[in-house]
Structure 1
């Protein structure tokens, strides 16, 4: 009951947010230069030909009417069909979702495997020790190298020298696990570098803050094993900012790492939405943005649930 009271306002805010996102993406697409008729017919199409296309897809109606029809259809589970392929948009997203989920899961796993231990080690050590300097260096480098720059460099290197890994040619994991890993390692690394830097720096700062607390000093004075101090006292109390960053980053990944999927030709939801935007395929882009927003909101609500589990005072409101 306590958690239900805690989450009720958040659910209401989530619905309002989704409605706002739907309005914004709908208007943004309509105000983009060049509509579907321009992409389909080219710059030399006659007004009559444009009118035919507009009437066929209802684009000649007032925007408020178009938005109302779209909203009503979505409320009934109909997200529309692609103007280009005439296939169900939601079916295509569901078909491609496992690819993006695999890429996001691999990236998050690498982020946690590298970022959290390095952050804990750097935070538990004095800032002037090599661990602290290494953490700052890795954090600065990872945060300053854009995904498309790192991805382009990796594509160039591994296209010239294969080094066992492959660029492009995605194969589902259950069809050929080895080939799948050969294809997915490079995009996973590209997508993980910024996340590693972010999680590392957040973990380090959180651990440093907890290490200054009185109960840590008391544990050291009692002669407790340093590993037990980290495991029993530091990690739990430093977890909330780390959970915040990790869940937010995972939401970003699941929303579709568009740049990486486009660079490496990974057939996930990001690449599908990107192609839909190029073709001004409104149903694809609108559905993609809404699904990304829904995933991001759900991930943040999961983070709130984890907060309440880690620190029960948050859910009860006594800690505020």
Structure 2
């Protein structure tokens, strides 16, 4: 297990290095550089060259990349070219907002997705409950966040439905107002993850229900819900836990759209503003931070899976 963990950590480091290289090159291949956005189309070549030299953009790309990596290894995330503020300070302010939004969405996902998947599987092919669960899963998976968010903003802005749209203030209103301002964005963000979790849970439950030990429990006269609690729930943890890593990645990525729609000052909106202004350091730092969070969650998910299911550990030992 120790050798496997070390290999996974090294693989994660290589993955992050590859992501950093791709992001670094991609943002510089975008049409229009920082000097074009700041100076406009009427600026002279000399003015553009002065701005590029001031921020080191006139150096070869590989030199800029190694300088950036060296700064990262030293704990320096860089400085925003637009605001001249340290990027680390901005991330420290915006990270709790995105983390709270993702945590609220993940809570809704677990509270609704798993029971809905179990109910859909138990109801089988017939019944209104099973049909409604399948319909919700299919609709939720295929519904884009920007469309659902736009509809929610319109409805809650026009009608007195009890929840407010907007009113978000970073670090000035306390936890309570911030939590209330994030309820609607969290619900919008959780629709896809609830639907995906319900679909995965349903398939996992249906797979367990055909196992011999479940047939034996039925033969002993155990009630359906007793079988669900004592036999099914213990065996569907691995698929749900595996999905957990993908859900976290989705929540962090979907926060970009949701935060922009609801005007929330989180990591997603910070990255979008960096893209609009060609603030390369901001885009690189936010994307790398998000990728790091996903890699860490995936690594922890695999470790917990090995602890919960000895068969996973045995497979890893055979693959070494």
Fold agreement, TM-score > 0.5: yes
User: What displacement does 1:5 show?
Assistant: 2.3
Deviations 1:244-300 (A, max 9, x none): 112321233245610000000111111111101111001100011110110010110
What is residue 26 of structure 2 aligned with on the other side?
28
Query: Per the alignment, do residues 243 and 173 of structure 1 end up closer, same or farther by CA in structure 2, a change over 3 Å counting?
Result: farther
Residue 70 of structure 1: how far off its partner (Å) = 0.6
In angstroms, what is the RMSD of aligned CA positions?
1.8
Measured after TM superposition, the shift of residue 209 of structure 1 is 0.7
**Alignment of structure 1 residues 214-293 onto 2, 5 Å:** 214-254=212-252, 257-293=255-291
Q: Structure 1 residues 177 and 60, CA, compared in 2 at 3 Å: closer, same or farther?
A: closer
Q: CA deviation at 1:317?
A: 2.9
Contact 2:145 2:254 in 1 (8 A): no
Alignment counterpart, residue 92 of structure 2, candidates 91, 94, 100? 94
Distance (Å, rounded) in 1 between the aligned partners of 2:216 and 2:290 = 46
Go from structure 1 to structure 2 and tell me whether the alpha carbon gap of 1:144 and 1:254 turns closer, same or farther (over 3 Å shift).
closer
Partner in structure 2 of residue 170 of structure 1: 168
Moved more, 81-90 or 167-176: 167-176
1:276 and 1:282 in contact (8 A); partners too: yes
How far the C-alpha of 1:319 sits from its partner, in A, is: 8.8
Judged with a 3 Å threshold, the aligned counterparts in structure 2 of structure 1 residues 132 and 173 are, in CA distance, closer, same or farther, namely farther
CA distance in 2, matches of 1:72, 1:54: 20
Q: Distance in 2 between matches of 1:162 and 1:38?
A: 45
Name the CA distance, whole Å, in 1 between partners of 2:20 and 2:227: 48
In 2: Cα distance, 1:258 partner to 1:162 partner: 27
What's the CA shift for 1:103? Answer: 0.5
Farther-moved stretch of structure 1 (239-248 vs 33-42): 239-248
Give distance in 2, aligned partners of 1:175 and 1:222. 58
Gaps of 5+ in 1: none
Give yes or no for the alignment of 1:141 onto 2:144: no
Rate the CA distance shift 1:173–1:141 in 2: closer, same or farther, 3 A.
farther
Query: What is the Cα deviation at residue 173 of structure 1?
Result: 8.4
Question: Following the alignment from structure 2 to structure 1, what is the Cα–Cα distance between the partners of residues 61 and 175?
Answer: 47
Q: Which TM-score applies when normalising by structure 1?
A: 0.95
Equivalenced residues, count: 318
Report Cα offsets for 1:118-157 as digits up to 9, x if no partner: 1011112322222221111110111121100010011111
User: 1:51 — aligned with what?
Assistant: 49
Moved more, 96-105 or 235-244: 235-244
